[in-house]
Amino acid sequence: MANSVKALILLAFSGALGIMFMVLACALPQYNNWWPFFVIVFYMLAPLPYTIARRYAEDSGAGNACTELAVFLTAGIVISAFGLPIVLAHAPVDGPVIEWGACALVFTGNIIMFLTILGFFVAFDSEGDSWNYF
């Protein structure tokens, strides 16, 4: 039980750190543009394929193909989260939509947030855990 609480506190801290980098990419005076904040949508979508596949594989027993498809879809979501800031930095609308410094801050936030999501699945994926209510 104590290890679960420590893991949850560490995950909460790292999630807050990732969101801090996202807010810095948007709110610093030299950037002052909230377009990079759309990456938050990818943070919400990333755990969904694997969560659905895990639940479906438990119910039907068709685990391997379903899990592989979920990993493929999750990889597409993660790559899209890294691609969006690059596209916004290259967009030719009277100069870039976002600055390259903001793109670097978004990349830092992406790395931290996706490692946090991965850490959640690693820490709380055992069968005997009380966190598997969903």
Q: Where do the structural domains in the chain lie, given as residue ranges?
A: 2-123
Q: Please give the pLDDT value at position 104.
A: 96
What are 79-120's pLDDT values in tens digits?
999 999 999 998 876 767 889 999 999 999 999 999 999 999
- Contacts of residue 18, defined as CB under 8 A and 6 or more positions apart, other chains included, come to 109, 110, 112, 113, 116
Can you say how many angstroms the Cα of residue 70 is from the centroid of all Cα atoms in its chain?
A: 15
Please give the share of the chain, as a percent, with pLDDT higher than 90: 57
Calculate mean pLDDT across residues 61-68.
Answer: 75
Q: How confident is the model at residue 58 (pLDDT cuts 50, 70, 90)?
A: low
pLDDT for 14 beyond 60: yes
Q: Please give the pLDDT value at position 96.
A: 75
Tell me the pLDDT of the chain averaged across its residues.
Answer: 87
Q: How confident is the model at residue 133 (pLDDT cuts 50, 70, 90)?
A: very low
Decide if 130 contacts 3 (C-beta within 8 A).
no
Can you tell me the distance from the alpha carbon of 68 to that of 133, in angstroms, rounded to the nearest whole number? 23
